[in-house]
């Protein structure tokens, strides 16, 4: 695989080719995913749930994300690697600077922050200082207690318009990538068409510029709650490598996610 950059991801969007992304937490799986052709690897704070067994992502630390980022980078030197900034690690601009630094030094190409308007000055400041930013709106897991659970966002017209406006403002502030999670398919399509930057969906329908899944969900090995938007590709193929290839193929051909994995 040629080295993936923000320019390469932007070109995929411009050419109408879907971007594939998966979470990764170690060198072995990172190499497997990258060798199969997955463009983007996210060291998600989802590791708090799938690796550490917590009920949510809140206990994860910056040091833990940095550790797993180093592992993923070692396994996939050519992939585009995004590192999540954990809960309350960017509550102030100074915290954002301090916590983004070890993640970029560990090998991330970009950091991901959850939220809307309050982040705009922070995103602008980070990008001005050489730290590329991925935004994340819709259902933002770090705010699960504010939302009262893992609930679909943007279902009424006012909420949908607000999320679209958030997306536009995040791009204007300097975000070079955007993740939209658990929002209606029609809203995700509006966002993807309105933005110049690539929009990656999870539980956001098939019309985004790309898709991301938690690797444990793709392989059907997550314990406890399995979200509607996930699909067990391992069950369908019977082999891990074939499961990854099938995921890539289905995303590229807009066969995944289907209606059964999406929200109206």
Three-class SS state of 196:
coil
Cα–Cα dist 25/47, whole Å:
7
Report strand pairing: 110-114 vs 177-181: unpaired
The dihedral region occupied by 19, where left means phi > 0, alpha psi between -120 and 50, and beta the remainder, is: beta
Q: What whole-number distance in Å separates Cα of residue 50 and Cα of residue 214? A: 9
Residue 250 is assigned to a ligand binding site: no
The CA-atom distances, in angstroms, between 196 and each of 11, 87, 127 are 11, 28, 17
Four-residue CA torsion sign, 83, 86, 89, 90: positive
Establish whether 46 is an annotated binding residue.
yes
236 is annotated as contributing to ligand binding: no
Active site residues: 181
239 is in an annotated binding site: no
Q: Binding site for Mg(2+), residues?
A: 45, 84, 114
- Binding site for 3-methyl-2-oxobutanoate: what residues are annotated? 45-46, 84, 112
Binding-site residue positions: 45-46, 84, 112, 114
């Amino acid at each position: 695989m040629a080295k993936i950059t923000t320019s390469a991801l932007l070109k995929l969007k411009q050419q109408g080719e879907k971007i594939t992304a998966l979470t990764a937490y170690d060198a072995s799986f990172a190499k497997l995913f990258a060798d199969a052709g997955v463009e983007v690897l996210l060291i998600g704070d989802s590791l708090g749930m799938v690796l550490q067994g917590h009920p949510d992502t809140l206990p994860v630390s910056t040091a833990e994300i940095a550790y797993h980022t180093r592992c993923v980078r070692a396994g996939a030197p050519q992939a585009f690697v995004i590192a999540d900034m954990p809960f309350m690690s960017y509550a102030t601009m100074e915290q954002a600077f301090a916590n983004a630094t070890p993640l970029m030094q560990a090998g991330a190409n970009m950091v991901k922050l959850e939220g809307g308007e309050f982040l705009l000055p922070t995103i602008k400041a980070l990008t001005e200082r050489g730290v590329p930013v991925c935004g994340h709106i819709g259902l933002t897991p770090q705010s699960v207690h504010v939302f009262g659970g893992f609930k679909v966002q943007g279902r009424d017209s006012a909420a949908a318009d607000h999320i679209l406006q958030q997306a536009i403002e995040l791009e204007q502030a300097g975000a070079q990538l955007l993740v939209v999670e658990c929002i209606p398919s029609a809203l995700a399509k509006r966002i993807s068409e309105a933005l110049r930057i690539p929009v990656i969906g999870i539980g956001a329908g098939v019309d985004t510029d790309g898709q991301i899944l938690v690797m444990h969900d793709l392989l059907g090995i997550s314990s406890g709650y399995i979200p509607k938007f996930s699909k067990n590709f391992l069950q369908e193929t019977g082999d891990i490598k074939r499961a990854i290839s099938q995921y890539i193929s289905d995303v590229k051909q807009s066969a995944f996610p289907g209606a059964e994995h999406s929200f109206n």
